[in-house]
Amino acid sequence: MIKINLAPPTTKRPRRAAAGGTELNLGLLFGGILAALVLIIGGWWLAMSLESRRLTAEIENNRRELERLKPIIAAGQRYRRERDELERRLNAIETVARNQARPVYLLDAMADTLPPDLWLTRLEERGPSLRIAGTTYSSVALSDFMANLKASGRFKDVDLVDAKQDLSKSPRTITFEVTCRFEI
């Protein structure tokens, strides 16, 4: 009689190894990967922790240095302001000294150009520009005055702005306004 056993065998057959010939243990593989990840993350955390401490110490050193330098910076700014103020004062003094003789030269040159029957009522100076107002009895005196201004060499761009004759007065007078530039 023939016996047929349909039950599975009780002994396990060895599994075939992978192509390399050795069997792969997945638990060991995942354990190794996990250990490597823990080491990498731990190393990264340690490096970041050390960098954080170093930067905190550097910030604290910079704060102390800033506190130490604040009085020095304030003194430097104070000296700079004082220097600028002194330079401004010196420039003002130099400008006054340089322009101190200008009115004397202007009045001297103006006196040399005035004809006998002409007189000035106003003389305004704005920078190099002059505005001269006056009165005369004749237009000849006014033209002589303008010619004298041009001929003096110190008055440039001499222009007659306005000339009016007052017919209601006796003797008749001419009021005028002349602009020019004065150069020393």
Do both 92 and 151 map to the same domain? Answer: no
Do both 70 and 108 map to the same domain? Answer: no
State residue 42's pLDDT score: 96
Could you tell me how far CA 156 lies from the centroid of its own chain?
38
Give domain status of residue 21, yes or no. Answer: no
Do both 94 and 124 map to the same domain? Answer: no
124 band by pLDDT with thresholds 50, 70 and 90: very high
127-176 tens-digit pLDDT: 789 999 999 999 999 999 999 999 999 999 999 999 999 888 888 899 99
Q: Which of 48, 78, 100 is the last residue of a domain?
A: 100
Residue 17 has pLDDT above 70, yes or no: no
- The average pLDDT across 66-93 equals 96
Q: Is 179 exposed, middle or buried (0-12, 13-18, 19+ CB in 10 A)?
A: middle
Structure-model confidence comparison of residues 15 and 167, the more confident one: 167
Q: Which of 83, 100, 117 is the last residue of a domain?
A: 100
**Tokens 């530039």, residue?**
181
Give domain status of residue 23, yes or no. Answer: no
Do both 60 and 83 map to the same domain? Answer: yes
Q: Which of 49, 76, 100 is the last residue of a domain?
A: 100
State residue 167's pLDDT score: 83
* Residue range(s) defining the domain that contains residue 81: 28-100
Please tell me the pTM assigned to this model.
Answer: 0.49
- Mean model confidence pLDDT for the chain: 89
- The average pLDDT across 16-27 equals 67
Do both 119 and 83 map to the same domain? Answer: no
Do both 133 and 171 map to the same domain? Answer: yes
Do both 120 and 70 map to the same domain? Answer: no
Number of folded domains that form the chain: 2
What is the C-alpha to C-alpha distance for residues 25 and 33, in angstroms, rounded to an integer?
13
Residue 20 has pLDDT above 70, yes or no: no
State which amino acid sits at residue 150: K
Alpha helices in 13-138 (DSSP H): 26-99, 102-113
